[in-house]
Amino acid sequence: MPLKNTSIVSGAQTKFGYLDGISQREMFAEAVDKATVEVGIPKKDIQAAFVGTFIPEMLIHQGHSAPLLLDFAGLRGLPATRHEAACASGATALRAAVMAIESGFYDTVLVAGSEKMTSVSTNRATEALAAAADDMFESSMGLTFPGVFAIAAVAHMEKYGTSPEDLALAAVKAHKNASTNPLAQFQKEITLEKAMTPRYIAWPLRLFDCSPISDGAAAIVLTSKEKAKQYTDTPVDVVGTGQASASMNLCDREDFTSFEASVSASKTAYKMAGLGPKDMDFAVVHDCFTIAEIIASEDIGFFKPGEGAKALRDGVTALDGDKPINPMGGLKAVGHPVGATGVKQAVVVYRELIGEAGANQVAKHDTGFMHNFGGTGASCVVNIFRRSDA
Amino acid sequence: MSEKPTIEQYIKNIDEHNFKAYKCVGCGAVTAPPSGTCYSCGGNEMDWTTVSGKGKLVSFTVIHIAPEEFQEEAPYFVAIIELEEGTRITTRLMGFDPMAPENVKLGTSLVLDYEDGKSGRTYLSFKPA
Ligand SMILES: CC(C)(COP(=O)(O)OP(=O)(O)OC[C@H]1O[C@@H](n2cnc3c(N)ncnc32)[C@H](O)[C@@H]1OP(=O)(O)O)[C@@H](O)C(=O)NCCC(=O)NCCS
Ligand SMILES: [Zn+2]
């Protein structure tokens, strides 16, 4: 049964990237203001906040983030809880908010995600990110996140013949889409040759196969359908949501060419929405690495297993293709402040659906899909959104 | 080998170059790294078992950008190995050139060994059989 009662009425993000001199709380407040008072939603209407942030303890030596961030953003006093699921923190916060509204508990809530990552060196950030994997049995081997997805890439290449050039094409597409996105970390197109510069991070993944280390924040306001029209003429409904987990250890998976939590969360969300992949006009997927976009495009049912790379090569997933994926540039080129990402993905789908994506507008925009992924794929959240008037 | 296996002892065994896996008392399935519950039957009574040390390479990577602790070891292999006993485990690889990973073939038969890393940790490490 499709969800009945939850609408998105605003969504905004800060610029993503190296936000020198701007602290986590400052960017959080900026995103909150953009999603509330700047679009005519008074802060006093917000009844609770669902906050996504992954690991400020290691990045900025700060825990207990939700009240701190809320206080700074002028929302002191509200029930405020942090949701943590590594890179899927943002979407787990969003999902909790959806359930709170569906249940009738609240009418209007804030969902906001953020991360400040450039406060530490790349090696320290790599170490902090590695805490999203099993510290006892995998991180302790020196396995990193690029390494996790490199292992998946090697398996996908062996089974389906996916090539390093296919991976590079995903990077070229991401940078192309981000080149017209003023909020992106990288706003420059790259050539295939540049994407294939052999600077290995975790072989076979090169620099341009990786999402960067980023700062940034994103926020959305959710409200009951009844109240939605009070805030906007073009509400977007949450029609399906799914979440699944998988083994923390990569080695405990049977297959490295697919992520079972993605498959399972997608099925749940499609079933709830009463829709299938063919009904989706576009998708925003968790492309923390180029291979992750290719695998996700298969796991969410857009393409058969092993056919994601072909779809990419054929331009099917390009901004002007039949099934655009990551039309604004994805994590790869827009940046990946981990706790912000899941919320930012919802912001992107929202902006596309209401036709306010500017140069990055997809042609068909009634129904959109988002896929947010955490850690080794041990968490996945999928949401399906549809414009109320569609 | 009848005391209840613990993770602490599992890691100590590796440090002492004396790897042992968990074995489900209920169904006999071999598990490593340790799990609180048997993936095959759902039982939670475990015992130690030795393994043949034979395995096959399922997938791998070479880490170039490493966390600080492992930086001095980079570039290094991290691999997923399927043991003859059926369970899969994340380990290091020895006997291959990390600068020529294209020469490493999936499915290669390997045997268990150990590597004492510059990080001060002892790794399970597999080498060509
Ligand atoms: C790939 C990575 C190691 C590069 O970090 P780095 O080696 O410190 O790179 P630097 O910051 O020194 O940047 C070097 C150059 O590459 C660029 N760059 C950095 N990361 C980039 C990326 N991911 N894609 C494209 N360009 C990138 C920088 O802008 C810089 O360009 P410039 O020389 O023109 O200024 C780092 O971005 C990383 O760890 N990414 C993965 C993050 C991750 O695991 N996220 C979680 C996913 S689950
Ligand atoms: Zn059993």
Residues 6+ apart with CB under 8 A from A364: A281, A282
- Candidate from A122, A200, A373 with most ligand 1 atoms within 8 A of CB, to mutate: A122
Q: Indicate the pLDDT class of residue A142, thresholds 50, 70 and 90.
A: very high
The answer, yes or no, to whether residue A227 has pLDDT greater than 70, is yes
Residue A136: pLDDT band (50, 70, 90) is very high
Structure tokens at B55: 């395995």
My answer on whether B79 and B120 are in the same domain is yes
B69 inside domain: yes
Query: Which pLDDT band holds residue A385 (cuts at 50, 70, 90)?
Result: very high
A201 CB neighbours in chain B (<8 A) are 64-65
| d(C-alpha A327, C-alpha A362), whole Å | 7
Mutate to test the interface with A, among B56, B72, B88, B90 (most CBs of A within 10 A): B90
Mean pLDDT, rounded, for A118-132: 93
Please report which confidence band the pLDDT of residue A377 belongs to, taking 50, 70 and 90 as the band edges.
very high
Ligand 1 binding residues, C-beta < 6 A = A 87, 122, 126, 129, 145-146, 186, 201, 207-208, 210-213, 288, 336; B 65
Residue B124 domain-assigned?
Answer: yes
Any domain includes B110: yes
pLDDT of residue A359: 98
pLDDT at A104: 95
pLDDT per position as a tens digit, B8-65: 999 999 999 999 999 999 999 999 999 999 999 999 999 999 999 999 999 999 999 9
- Hey, what are A171's tokens? 């990077």
Within 13 Å of residue B41, how many CA atoms lie on the same side as its CB? 12
pLDDT tens, residue by residue, A289-332: 999 999 999 999 999 999 999 999 999 999 999 999 999 999 99
- Measured in angstroms, how far is the CA atom of residue A117 from the centroid of ligand 1? 12
Domain count, chain B: 2
Write a three-state SS string for A278-334: HHCCEEECCCCEHHHHHHHHHHCCCCCCCCHHHHHHCCCCCCCCCCCECCCCHHHHH
Nearest Cα neighbor of A312 from A195, A203, A148 is A195
Q: What number is the average pLDDT over the span A25-53?
A: 98
Helix ranges (H only) for A103-242 are 122-130, 145-160, 164-178, 192-195, 225-228
As a whole-number percent, the residues of chain A with pLDDT over 90 amount to 98
Rounded to a whole number of angstroms, the distance from the CA of B25 to the nearest CA of chain A is: 20
Tell me, yes or no, whether B95 and B117 share the same domain: yes
* Cα–Cα dist B113/B124, whole Å: 6
> In chain A, what are the domains?
6-121+213-236 (3.40.47.10), 133-211+237-387 (3.40.47.10)
At A269 the pLDDT is: 98
pLDDT band at B3; cut points 50, 70, 90: confident
Other beta carbons within 10 Å of B61: 29
CB B91, CB B125: distance < 8 Å? yes
B41 & B92 share domain: no
Identify whether residues B98 and B45 lie together within a single domain. Answer: no
Q: Is A336 a catalytic residue?
A: yes
B72 plus B124 within the same structural domain: yes
Domain annotation covers residue B1: no
**Residue range A282-292: mean pLDDT, rounded:** 98
Q: What is the pLDDT of residue A4?
A: 85
- Alpha-helix runs per DSSP H in A161-207: 164-178, 192-195
CATH number at B111 reads: 2.40.50
Does some domain include residue B116? yes
Residue B94 has which token pair? 């020895």
Report, in angstroms and rounded to the nearest whole number, the Rg of chain B calculated over CA atoms. 15
B28 and B43, same domain (yes or no) = yes
Q: Please tell me the pTM assigned to this model.
A: 0.97
Q: What is the mean pLDDT of chain A?
A: 97
Q: Which helix or strand (DSSP H or E) is residue A27 part of?
A: helix A24-35
Name every chain A residue with its beta carbon within 8 A of the beta carbon of B69: 127, 142
Is residue B2 one of the residues assigned to a domain? Answer: no
Q: Is B64 helix (H, G, I), strand (E, B) or coil?
A: coil
Q: What is the largest CA-CA distance in chain A?
A: 55
Is position A156 annotated as part of the catalytic site? no
Q: Can you give the pLDDT at residue A1? A: 73
Co-location of B69 and B25 in the same domain: no
Q: Are A103 and A93 in contact (CB under 8 A)?
A: no
Ligand positioned closest to the Cα atom of B38: 2
Q: Answer yes or no: are the C-beta atoms of A238 and A245 closer than 8 Å.
A: no
B38 and B67 part of one domain: no
Model confidence pLDDT, tens digit, residues A167-210: 999 999 999 999 999 999 999 999 999 999 999 999 999 999 99
Query: CB-based contacts of A184: which residues, under 8 Å, 6+ apart?
Result: A15, A16, A17, A178, A328, A329, A333, A334, A335
Interface test with A, best of B11, B19, B59, B91 (most A CBs within 10 A): B59
pLDDT for B2 beyond 80: no
Q: Kindly state whether residues B79 and B25 are assigned to the same domain.
A: no
> Within this chain, do residues B99 and B37 fall inside the same structural domain, yes or no?
no
Tell me the chain B residues in contact with residue A134 when contact means C-beta distances shorter than 8 Å. Answer: 33
> How far off is chain A from B62, nearest CA to CA, in Å?
5
Is residue B119 situated within a structural domain?
Answer: yes
Task: Report how many Cβ contacts below 8 Å link chain A to chain B.
Answer: 107
| Whether B36 and B62 share a structural domain | no
One domain for residues B35 and B90 = no
Is residue B96 very low, low, confident or very high in pLDDT (cuts 50, 70, 90)?
very high
Q: Domain residues for B66?
A: 54-128
